[in-house]
A = this chain, B = another copy of it.
């Protein structure tokens, strides 16, 4: 856990420095972007990228910009998801949501800004490291966050509200909305670390199972989580009449599935002939988390 915490601290430090003293007439947009970045969070995606990369290359500070770009994408998606026209949430990580502090217009632009800035960072990284594998990793990320990834999942989430949806559609929604970016975090870490094809294949399988377990756990926490620990309102899915894994399979079955998926994840990691200790640690951490 110490290693993971060290990584998290490096990520937070990089992000803090990135937004420090930025802006002139446009300073407000940096403040708004920084606000949602600084509210914190688990930094799961950049940590996953770095822990995977570290299996192949110990010098993970090299890829801090790429991993933090991924966190910016995640943060933009939260800001837009929280908007009144979307989930209309007032609270995120125990703090008022972006639009509650900066107003809707600036919140929309802060989201746009974070999405745009993340790609700006990635192109800058490609320019300094013009290997094909680096471009490939960036393409993977842009694909995962786009209409065939996270945005696609969010659209299905919105049009499904108040409707009972089929298992296939629920799986599509979650694999896109949450799964794709988690998968991209792990696979881009592997590609940047120059993992071989066999490992990439195993990590693909691992990342898909982990993403699914992560989402089921999220659904569980939305029902039985502690509002104060979670930092957001619970039962929000239920209030919005969303189909979740809980409404579909029930709480107990979800807990079971989450456990089985985690075990499968650990088994896959066992079959990789690298030091997978840290990935195992985070896999278990994600299962046991209370937030």
- Residues of chain A at the chain B interface (Cβ within 8 Å): 23-26, 28-30, 33, 76, 80, 83, 85-86, 103-106, 108-109, 111-113, 115-117, 119-120, 122-124, 126-127, 130, 132, 135-136, 138-139, 142-143, 145-148, 151-156, 158-159, 169, 172-173, 176
Per DSSP, are chain A's interface residues mostly helix, strand or loop, or mixed? helix
Closest Cβ–Cβ distance, residue A15 to chain B (whole Å): 15
Which residues of chain B are within 8 angstroms of A83 by Cβ–Cβ distance? 105, 108
Quick one: which of B113, B142, B159 contacts A120, CB cutoff 8 A? B142
Q: Is the CB of B116 within 8 A of A142?
A: yes
Which residues of chain B are within 8 angstroms of A154 by Cβ–Cβ distance? 109
Cα–Cα distance between A135 and B26 once the two chains are bound (Å): 26
Q: Is the CB of B80 within 8 A of A112?
A: yes
Which residues of chain B are within 8 angstroms of A124 by Cβ–Cβ distance? 139
Query: What are 10 A-to-B residue pairs whose CB atoms are below 8 Å?
Result: A26-B147, A26-B153, A109-B151, A109-B158, A113-B151, A120-B143, A122-B123, A126-B126, A126-B138, A127-B132
Chain multiplicity (copies): 2
Which residues of chain B are within 8 angstroms of A145 by Cβ–Cβ distance? 116
In the complex, which residue of chain B has the Cβ closest to the Cβ of A132? Answer: B130
In the complex, which residue of chain B has the Cβ closest to the Cβ of A85? Answer: B104
Cα–Cα distance between A34 and B149 once the two chains are bound (Å): 18
Known contacts A108-B85, A116-B146, A173 near B123 by CB under 8 Å: no
Which residues of chain B are within 8 angstroms of A153 by Cβ–Cβ distance? 26
Cα–Cα distance between A174 and B176 once the two chains are bound (Å): 38
Cα–Cα distance between A126 and B151 once the two chains are bound (Å): 23
In the complex, which residue of chain B has the Cβ closest to the Cβ of A126? Answer: B135
Additional A-B contacts beyond A116-B145, A124-B139, A127-B139 (18; CB < 8 A): A23-B152, A26-B176, A29-B155, A86-B105, A106-B155, A106-B158, A109-B151, A113-B146, A116-B151, A117-B146, A117-B147, A122-B123, A123-B138, A123-B139, A126-B135, A126-B139, A130-B130, A130-B132
